[in-house]
Homo-oligomer: A and B are copies of this chain.
């Protein structure tokens, strides 16, 4: 039995020697051992995932410094935990005992924005929103928009293959990563691809690294594809008296030629929580579901917005709000944005799930989540990216009540199992991290897990890269 690297410090590296070598390789202020600063960096956005006491925090500014850190780590077999701004929700960036925390916070250069090639070349520590704004200022568009984009880094988005609301039209982070510079476990620097739109000379190492949660290498530069700026968002929010009607309307939008850039759903539990949390929301009585469809296409004639309105009405919408400007649209997104805070407000605590199933299985997923809610006695409100079949059930519980804490974990486990049973996944966009390692054997066959560990061994033979995460 291999000891769990999350709870066991590595065998006998010499911490003094490691620190000396790191200090020799990096500027003085880039090697941090202050216990308060280490404690502050030990955890990501997942409140409950296990963590451990790191040895040191390093703040490399460029690829050469990252390579130097990894050479030291490799020589001493010290675990390395790559970190962006730790907005993740699965514990992927949590510290492990004795680890070097490798923060990308000084690697924030936007090196090149190219109009002809429609690419941006960045260091991994760039905040996603800064990247989006920088290319928008040049009339270009980086579509992936994880909800955390104002507090996440592009390196973290790559590590988790982050999704977001626009995936329904544009795809996930991976679809925009043309090439990566990666520092391997032993400090070697590789490029995964030439950065062209198409390239099939090698196996697809780019796609392999995207979503690998820091377990295969440290991304030090990314070449990302861009698009021309779209038209301003416009859209429709519609409420329905049943989940079924809302899901059927969503399917009709997806099947229409009016391709939405965003198609979001919230169920009646969320609407009820929102009505309690935000009495100004003004939701219609009897609303059991809401659907929000947005387009970013330039329109003439009938247009997408009118098509969405007609589809909602044809499916018996209780009310349809139309927004032709960003402010009004922001209003319409109120219920969707309130998913987490409104559900947490019910009992003080919440677990935010991230399951995905084929769209055909969404009615059964939501039915059976309602059963789990009834059986555990906990409110569970669900919302999310219905066009992708990727929903976030939020389990509300009182963290001070041990019975509810147990019930919440039971509901969590049952929802993950349900997603797999319905032909889906335990994580559509948040990643496995530490939180969901236990769910992997339910989703991936023993042989697939063995292949993944074999690939990990090829890239990280000593197992020093983010040990205990993902795999």
Contact A208 B197 (CB under 8 A): no
Chain B residues within 8 Å of A451, by CB: 190, 205, 458-459
Given known contacts A167-B197, A196-B358, A251 and B458 CB-to-CB distance under 8 angstroms: no
How far, in whole Å, are A427 and B205 apart by their CA atoms in the complex?
16
Q: Is A192 an interface residue (CB 8 A)?
A: yes
Q: Cβ of A160 < 8 Å from any Cβ of B?
A: yes
Is A175's beta carbon under 8 Å from chain B?
Answer: yes
Closest to A443 in B: B201
Kindly report which residue of chain B lies nearest to residue A432, judged by CB atoms.
B201
Chain A at the B interface: SS class: loop
Taking a contact as CB atoms closer than 8 A, the residue among B175, B211, B425 that contacts A196 in the complex is B425
Cα A210 to Cα B430 with chains together (Å): 24
Closest CB of chain B to A234's CB: distance in Å? 15
Q: Is A127 an interface residue (CB 8 A)?
A: no
Is A348's CB within 8 Å of the partner chain B? no
Q: Scan residues 193-223 of chain A and give those whose CB is less than 8 A from a CB of chain B.
A: 193-205, 207-208, 210-212, 216
The answer on a CB contact under 8 Å between B458 and A389 is no
Select A207's contact among B194, B204, B389, beta carbons within 8 Å.
B204
Q: Across the interface, which residues of B come within 8 angstroms of A459, CB to CB?
A: 451, 454
Count of chain A residues with a beta carbon within 8 Å of a chain B beta carbon: 92
Chain B residues contacting A443 (CB-CB under 8 Å) are 194, 201-202
Report B-chain residues with C-beta under 8 Å of the C-beta of A210. 204
Convert A427-471 into 0s and 1s, putting 1 for each residue whose CB lies closer than 8 angstroms to a CB of B.
111111000100110011101110110111111000000000001
* Bound-complex Cα distance A388 to B195 (A): 11
Distance A188 CA – B420 CA, assembled complex (angstroms)? 21
CA of A430 to CA of B199, assembled, Å: 9
Measured in the bound complex, the distance between the Cα atoms of B32 and A430 in whole Å is 50
In the complex, are the beta carbons of B116 and A196 less than 8 A apart?
A: no
Asked if A423 is at the interface of the complex by the 8 Å CB criterion, the answer is yes
Report the Cα distance A199→B424, complex, angstroms. 8
The residue from B198, B211, B259 contacting A200, defined by CB atoms under 8 A apart: B211
Q: Does A47 contact B (CB under 8 A)?
A: no
A423–B117 alpha-carbon span in the complex (Å): 12
Binding site for B on A (CB under 8 A): 114-119, 160-161, 163, 167-168, 171-172, 174-175, 184, 188, 190-205, 207-208, 210-212, 216, 227-231, 251, 254-257, 259, 298, 300-301, 356-360, 385, 387-390, 420, 423-432, 436, 439-440, 443-445, 447-449, 451-452, 454-459, 471
In the complex, the 7 A-B pairs of residues with the closest C-beta atoms, listed nearest first: A207-B207, A454-B458, A300-B300, A198-B428, A199-B425, A197-B388, A300-B301
